[in-house]
Amino acid sequence: MKTVKAKRRFTRRSLLKGAGVAAAGLTVTYVIGRHFVPILPSLATPDIDGVAWISVGPDGQISMLSPVHEMGQGSSLGLAQIVAEELNVESSEIKVSFPSTRDVPHMRFTTGSQAIALHARPVADAAARLREELRRKAAAVIDVEPAALADAKGGFFAPEKRFLSYSDAVAGEELTLASESLPTGTSYTFDATHENRQVGHDALQIQAREIVMGAPVFAGDILRPNMVYGRTVQAPAPDARILAVSDKGAGDVSGVIQVIIDKPRRLVGVVAETPASLEEALKRLEVQWDRPGRFSAEEVADRVDVDRALAKGDLEHSLVDEDVDLSSDWTVDLRFDQPILHHAAQEPRTAVAEFSQRDGQEVVDIWTGTQDIFVNQKKAAADLGWSTDRVTVHAMRVGGGFGGRVLYDVVREAVLLAQEVKRPVKVTWSRRDEFLADRTRPPSSHRVQIRTDAHGQISDWRHACVSGYVLLTELMAPQPLLSGMRMVMHDFGAARELKAPYSARARRIEMSDVDLPFHVGEWRSLGAAPNNFAIESAMDELARKLKRDPLDLRMQNLGEERARLRNCLTRLKTICDARPGAPGKGRGRGYACGIYQEHSYVAAAFDVAVDHQRRRIRAEHCTVVMDVGLAVSPDQIRAQIEGCAMMAIGQLWKEAAPVGDGGLSAHGFDDYPIPTMSDVPQFEIDIVDQGSTPPAGVGQAPIIALVPALANALRDATGYRALKLPINFDDIPGILDS
């Protein structure tokens, strides 16, 4: 056997090791919400972490501004539970609001999975200090030492069981504390000896009542006096340029206020008195586009073809380059292909913009559901040529994020159209626009090669991946800076979890990130789900080849430092062993696991059954063990796992963005089917109780294990290895048997 040793390479990437991490790093500062103070007295100072976000009113009402946007991930509830824990109240008693750009100073708003990890500790510490200040105030009322007051629900017990409420403590005064006068307080949330009453318990989601009653919480629910309706024509591709526009009588439609044609700004739109007039006028407008970058599905597949790229030599970026034996006798050697995915959130992007006069100057108010209000504020200000203080963005609930709502497009349309017609304008995208202008998850292809010794110990590991960009897009930086960044670093979004958690004697992990002719961006877990799908599918195939138990083989190859993942796998094995899968042909069980961002650990199993009559596979049972450290909101963790499981089912059976007529071609949900109630499995979810470990995010982690677990179950049931997603049922041997 000829042994080929990998050449050690020095790449630009290795010289700039860590640059990606720095670029992705976050700085979060908490300072006082000045505009919040007059509404309710704030017990806060600019210097104190977190305190400014929480206040106690003269009536004892506790209010907080959520430093995270809510899109269903439940992190605003988690933070409210922490505040409730520290202040000895029920989380439902806390009034949670979502701030506008005027309510709080500029800060980086987080996406779902970072929310709890970044904010839990400062919020807990701040609320604990607030509690101790309340104790001091209450003690002063009855002239005792603060230490003489015991915690009570909504206040304190003084000696002889006298109850002092928070309202008694603040005594109707507006309290503004200097930072140095704030007492220190030990947060209960992170005190292992404290019996938590809020944290770790199930609670009702923020805005849940409004949702079931149909009360206004989304951007589209905003109604302004004199408001009208607008929309623009979406470009069919990012590089499309307007050649010609014909009105075709759009302006004559009754109720149309203005047809706006601004070719330099690529803005062709209509504003009308009612939505139906708007639709009719938009149908009449005819735009001719220059589309140099027309593409086919085959051309896209070619661009991300990992074998084609490897045939030309090393991939562009080397993430790990150890002394791998590249000879051809791999124990497993598999190629995986994953498609373009849409977010397909239920809420179409919507924004309302209203210009008015404030303090002698023209200002604009914008209502929209976004994951980042300040980015939208800055971009709107830039479009208007204004300073940012003249632009206010009001954060509305996001009707499904999944990474797709760090966007400005719809806000831009509302702002520019409202400026033209001098009236408040509501822009709601059509479902077609949602698909067309979606920042999709780019397609990727992977080659995974693993060699083991006779005992199943991995000796050589190679993973080569070609993916479209995820983070190094025009949302990250303008050109030419973006091109420069792409030169010196790999796309750290696409590369997320490309390094498997398993030990190996030598590893070679490399990737190429490529430009694609359609919009790409963040999608739940970024590259982690596609990368881990390839890794965990290959591990499953390895176990089959070696005739080993798939869980044991994984645990054998996890290093000592992977104790939390090993624990998840051990618990998964115990649960699954106690509930043997139903025997029989066409039934199977598959396993997978993963570590997300070194903070969330997940092991998952799916049981599937072939439904011959309906020519489909049914996911019958889904078992998940998850360790996210301190489980602040266990029920919200379960909800995220359930949601990720449904998306995994979508990825295996259904989802791929169609390409046709030279571009993305989905018009509606019929073109992009998503999972429905008939796909729901039984859930068995085990949340590892790690009260002493700081909490981590849960919105994205489960999906990285759930997609491969389902593929591995399919393999177990049918012998069919899902190499290309979504699967084609006709390819599965035996599915047509009755």
Partner 1 sequence: MQLRVNGSLHEVPDRWKKETLLTVLREHLGLVGTKFGCGDGACGACTVHVEGGVVRSCQMRASGAEALEIVTIEGLVGTGADLHPVQQAWLDERVAQCGFCQAGQIMQAVALLKENPAPDEQAIVEHMNRNLCRCGTQARVQKAIQRAARELRGQS
Footprint of partner 1 on this chain (CB under 8 A)? 71-74, 202, 204-205, 207-209, 211-218, 220-221, 223, 229, 254-255, 273-277, 343-348, 397-402, 426, 428, 430-431, 635, 639, 642-647, 668-670, 674-681, 683
Please identify, using beta-carbon distances, which residue of 639 and 687 lies nearer to partner 1. Answer: 639
Kindly state the tokens that stand for 422.
Answer: 């001098």
Residue 432 CB partners (closer than 8 Å, separation 6+): 234, 666, 667, 668
CB of 219 to partner 1, least distance (A): 11
Closest approach, Cβ 541 to partner 1, in A, equals 28
Report the nearest approach of partner 1 to the CB of residue 78 (Å). 13
Least separation in angstroms between CB 703 and partner 1:
10
Q: What does the DSSP assignment read for 34-75?
A: GGGTTTS-B---TTSTTGGGEEE-TT--EEEE-SB--SSS-H
Tokens of 556: 């054998």
CB of 323 to partner 1, least distance (A): 44
Which H helix or E strand runs over 138? helix 112-141
CB 652 → partner 1: shortest distance, Å?
14
C-alpha distances (whole Å) from 421 to each of 31, 228, 409, 411, 732 are: 37, 9, 19, 16, 57
Choose between 34 and 432: whose C-beta lies nearer to partner 1: 432
Q: How far is the CB of 462 from partner 1 (least distance, A)?
A: 34
CA nearest neighbour of 571 among 598, 557, 591: 591
Q: Please, what sign has the CA dihedral across residues 17, 107, 90, 160?
A: positive
Q: Look up residue 394 and give its two tokens.
A: 């009001």
Nearest distance from residue 229's CB to partner 1, in Å? 8
CB of 707 to partner 1, least distance (A): 13
Contacts of 271 (CB under 8 A, 6+ apart): 228, 229, 230, 256, 257, 258, 260, 278, 417, 420, 421, 423, 425
Compare residues 345 and 450 and give the one whose CB is closer to partner 1. 345
- Phi, then psi, of 536 in degrees rounded to 5: -75, -25
The nearer residue to partner 1, 645 or 714, going by C-beta atoms, is 645
Least distance between partner 1 and beta carbon 184 (Å): 35
Min dist CB 223 to partner 1, Å, is: 6
CB 169 within 8 A of CB 152: no
Residue 231's closest CA among 435, 475, 412?
A: 412
Q: Are strands 391-395 and 361-368 parallel, antiparallel or unpaired?
A: parallel
Nearer to partner 1 by Cβ, of 22 and 212: the residue is 212
d(CA 259, CA 34): 41
Closest by alpha carbon to 604, among 698, 684, 503, 522? 684
Strand runs labelled E in 558-713: 587-596, 600-611, 616-627, 659-660, 663-664, 682-687
Please, which residue, 6 or 410, has the CB nearer to partner 1? 410
Q: ∠ at Cα 551 (525, 497), nearest 5°?
A: 25
Which of 273/323 has CB closer to partner 1? 273
Rounded CA-CA distance 169/177 in Å is 14
517/702 with CB nearer partner 1:
702
Query: CA-to-CA distance for 721 and 731, rounded, in angstroms?
Result: 10
Q: CB of 221: closest distance to partner 1 in angstroms?
A: 4
Cα distances (Å, whole numbers) of residue 608 to 434, 585, 650, 715: 33, 11, 14, 10
Of 98 and 218, which CB lies nearer to partner 1 in the complex structure? Answer: 218
| Cα maximum dimension of the chain | 88
Closest CA to 331 of 480, 168, 545: 545
Task: For residues 196 and 498, give the distance between their C-alpha atoms in angstroms, rounded to a whole number.
Answer: 37
CB of 668 to partner 1, least distance (A): 5
| Residue placing its CB nearer to partner 1 in the complex, 35 or 209 | 209
Closest distance of CB 648 from partner 1, Å: 9
Nearer to partner 1 by C-beta: 570 or 665? Answer: 665
Distance CA 586, CA 354 (A): 59
Task: Report how far residue 214's alpha carbon sits from residue 533's, in angstroms, rounded to the nearest whole number.
Answer: 39
Nearer to partner 1, 71 or 569 (CB): 71
Tell me whether residue 146 or residue 400 sits nearer to partner 1 (CB atom): 400
90 with 82: CB under 8 angstroms? Answer: no
**Total H helices, total E strands in the chain:** 18, 26
* DSSP secondary structure, 93-128, as one string: GSEEE--BTTTS---PPBPHHHHHHHHHHHHHHHHH
Residue 141, CA distances (Å) to 134, 144, 171, 319, 439 in order: 11, 8, 8, 63, 57
* CA 402 to chain CA mean position, Å: 4
